[in-house]
Amino acid sequence: MRFLAVKLGRMARSVRGMKDLYGRESDKFDFIFNKFRLVGERYGFGMIYTPILEYTDVFYRSIGDETDVVSKEMYTFLDKGEESVTLRPEGTAGVVRAIVCEHLDQCLPVKLMYCGEMFRYDRPQKGRFRQFRQFGLEHVGDKSPYTDAITIAIAVDCIRSIGFCDFKILVNSLGDDETRENYTKAIVKYFSRHEDRLSAESRIRLKKNPLRVLDSKNKQDVEICSMAPILMDYLSKDSRVYFNKVCSLLEDYEINYEINHFLVRGLDYYSHTAFEILPTSGTYKEAIGGGGRYDKLLAILGGLDVSGIGFAIGIDRLMLLMDDFFVQQKKRKIAVIPVSEGEDSHAFSLFRDLQNCEMASEFIHLGSLTKKMKIADRLGCAIAIILGSNEIQNNTVTVKFMNSSDAANKTRSIRLSDIINFLRCN
Ligand code: AMP
């Protein structure tokens, strides 16, 4: 096949909606993941890596077969043993499946975080891919408004840890079984009155899973939904007390949130607290992340009847939003450049010293000085340390700030013995 493509003069393509990550983009990904992981560790979460492929049933049973994700977007196929398998469209179901299979729920609470590729057969557009990456975490076995508020706080801390502050938190409560039973009755009554104006898809959902009608993106459905009864008015007494406590804890935590009555999230397994994180600056308005509490998921997948809460943040979306400040946030890379071959070994020895001090650095020694400086620039180095024969004679180095517009401070002569300290402070 490969040879045939070459023969016909066609270039091999990557699958639509799936992209290669390298250079600046893979740097951004690593930067975000490392920061998020540190936040998760600070709150006591450990990493879990689950398979990318799960038996399809795991998603059918947990996410719900009337959701967009399951009904339209899954990459599902029969493997060679005729078993139906699916590339994971989200992380929670797989992590909970692992908790059940590995009997981790025997010792509660379980606090796990994950990061990896998810797959959804969606229409590719800005910030929406068919393969994308999520960082998420799950906290199972500690049902309390404190855990809900802490989980939202962790999501906030994660996003702030990369220096991104232009976002808001939307919260809602989906209540308990009693709440949803009463609410479902109310919206069935309401939507039935408007059934002839609903899209064909929403009419089917109205019969099978009425809450999902609220998820519709169809313009006319959205208009009808905007007048629908709100879930908050049907919260059971217990659910209301629970939600009020979550909100007051968020206030204590000084987390700005807005209550959004129509936030039901796209998946069936949520109960009680649901939340979403949206950007507030720029033109991109889609959610960066979201999560919520799930009371039934463990039991549905064969585990104990314990509740959990989690969230997932879409790393690719954050990468889109963080372009401007990433350059300043990124660890500065230093180029060590000998002027000529005579200084190679001195420069190499300095490069080793920088690496031993965990300073990101490159040893650039091939070609003319001009060429070496160009390479340093192309590799994204912010500082060049230049060693010529004069510098070696005087036990100094010349430090050049590559992006500085301040002519007086662009180039400095520093004593060789002071260079590590100088780099740490500048
Ligand atoms: P969800 O599980 O749908 O709530 O998704 C959680 C987060 O994953 C979203 O807020 C997005 O940031 C990200 N996400 C979901 N779907 C996609 C997609 N098709 N492409 C890129 N990011 C996505």
pLDDT tens per residue, range 30-47: 999 999 999 999 999 999
Atom 16, ligand 1: which residue's CA is nearest?
A: 128
Look at ligand 1, atom 9, and give the residue with the nearest C-alpha.
Answer: 289
Domain layout of the chain by residue ranges? 12-176+236-324, 333-425
pLDDT tens profile 142-176 = 999 999 999 999 999 999 888 888 899 999 999 99
Handedness of CA 369, 373, 378, 381 (dihedral sign): positive
H helix intervals, 169-272:
177-193, 200-208, 219-226, 237-252
Say which range, 18-32, 227-241, 253-267, 332-346, has the weakest mean pLDDT: 253-267
The per-residue pLDDT for 275 is 97
Three-state DSSP class for residue 87: strand
Closest of 9, 94, 8 to residue 59, by C-alpha: 94
* Ligand 1: lining residues by beta carbon, under 6 Å: 90, 120, 122, 127-129, 132, 134, 266, 287-290, 312, 314, 316-317
Percent of the chain at pLDDT above 90?
Answer: 72
Residue with the bigger pLDDT between 329 and 65: it is: 65
Tell which residue, 116, 115, 88, 122, has the closest CA to residue 17. Answer: 122
What CATH number belongs to 12-176+236-324? 3.30.930.10
383-404 pLDDT per residue, tens: 999 999 999 999 999 999 988 7
Task: State the chain's mean pLDDT as an integer.
Answer: 90
- Counting ligand 1 atoms within 8 A of each CB, the residue from 316, 318, 320, 322 with the most, and so the one to mutate, is 316
Q: Is the pLDDT of residue 360 over 90?
A: no
The pTM assigned to this predicted structure is: 0.80
Q: Is the peptide bond before 338 cis (omega within 30 degrees of 0)?
A: no
Q: Which CATH architecture describes the domain 333-425?
A: 3-Layer(aba) Sandwich (3.40)
Provide φ and ψ at 60, rounded to 5°.
-60, -45
**CA–CA distance, 271 with 175 (Å, rounded to integer):** 6
Backbone angles phi, psi at 91, to 5 degrees: -95, -30
Residue-wise pLDDT tens digits, 73-114? 999 999 999 999 999 999 999 999 999 999 999 999 999 999
Per residue in 242-296, pLDDT (tens digit) is 999 999 999 998 898 999 988 877 667 789 999 999 998 878 889 999 999 999 8
Quick count: other Cβ atoms within 10 Å of Cβ 174?
24
- The residue among 270, 276, 264, 288 whose CA lies nearest residue 92 is 270
Atom of ligand 1 nearest to the CA of 314: 12
Return the structure tokens found at 57.
Answer: 């049933």
Q: How confident is the model at residue 4, as a pLDDT?
A: 54
Q: How many CA atoms lie within 13 A of 322 on its CB side?
A: 26
Please give the sequence-ordered ranges of beta strands (E in DSSP) within 43-130, or none if there are none: 46-47, 53-55, 75-78, 84-87, 110-119
Q: pLDDT band at 408, cuts 50/70/90?
A: low
Dihedral angle, C-alpha 27, 30, 35, 40, nearest 10 °:
170
**Confidence class for position 187, pLDDT limits 50, 70, 90:** very high
Name, in order, each residue with C-beta under 8 angstroms of 150's C-beta and a sequence gap of 6 or more: 43, 139
- Going across the sheet that includes 110-119, the strands are 46-47, 110-119, 131-140, 308-314, 289-294, 271-279, 167-173, 257-259
Contact 106, 71 (CB under 8 A): no
Q: What percent of the chain has pLDDT over 70?
A: 94
Cβ of 194: how many Cβ atoms within 10 Å? 18
Q: What is the DSSP letter of 366?
A: S
Tokens of 123: 């229409």
**Cα 269–chain centre separation:** 20
Q: How confident is the model at residue 326 (pLDDT cuts 50, 70, 90)?
A: low
Atom of ligand 1 nearest to the CA of 277: 10
